[in-house]
Amino acid sequence: MLNILNLEGKVVVGYNVAKTDDLLLNKDAFRTWQLIRLPAELGGDKNDVSAFRLYNAVCLHLWCLWRYVALERDSNDPSRIINGSGQCPCHGSAYDPLNRKAFGGPAADQSPPSNVLPILYLEADQQKNLWILPPTLDVNANGIVGYGRFLKT
C-alpha cells in the first residue's frame, strides 16, 4: 500500500507487488512492476488515482527490464521536451506512458497483444492510499506478463 500524498511529484519505479518470504523469488523480473506518476502534461498533477499507472516491467520484445524516463528538456534545445516514456535499454523499444503501447523499437513491430504491456489497475481509498485491484491475467483484461494485452477501444 502506498499513499498518494507521500508520492507527490515523484516517479516511483521498481515496485514488487507480490512480495513473498522467498528472497530469490522476490527478485524475479517477472514479478516486477513499475509504478509511474504521469507527467503533469498527461494528468500527473492530479492528486488522485488517475495520476498513476502500474505496468509490468518486462519488455515485450525479449524480456529485458524497461525503465521509465521522466519528461525533461533537451539540453541542446531547451524549448524541446524529450523522453516521458518507458524505454528498454536492450534494443530501444519505447512505451507510451498513458496506455503502455509500444510506439518505437522492435516491440512496436510486434502484433497485438504483444505490443502492449500488462497493467494492474489501482484505486484510492478515502485516506488516499493506493490499492491494487485483483487482476485477471488474460490478454483481454490485465494482460499476461511477458506476452502482453489487447488495448480496449
The least distance separating ligand FES from the CB of residue 61, rounded to whole angstroms, comes to 3
Which grid coordinates belong to 121?
489497475
Bond preceding residue 113 cis, omega within 30 of 0: yes
CA distance 46 to 124: 13
72, 81 Cβ separation under 8 angstroms: yes
The least distance separating ligand FES from the CB of residue 76, rounded to whole angstroms, comes to 25
Give the count of beta carbons closer than 10 Å to the beta carbon of residue 5.
Answer: 10
The least distance separating ligand FES from the CB of residue 118, rounded to whole angstroms, comes to 15
The least distance separating ligand FES from the CB of residue 57, rounded to whole angstroms, comes to 11
Cβ closest to ligand FES, residue 60 vs residue 120:
60
Cβ closest to ligand FES, residue 43 vs residue 106:
106
**Subset of 90-129 contacting ligand FES (CB under 6 A):** 90-93, 105-107
Give the CA distances from residue 126 to residues 5, 17, 47, 69, 129, in Å, rounded to whole numbers and listed in that order: 12, 21, 12, 30, 7
**Subset of 28-87 contacting ligand FES (CB under 6 A):** 59, 61-62, 64
Binding residues for ligand FES (CB under 6 A) = 59, 61-62, 64, 88, 90-93, 105-107
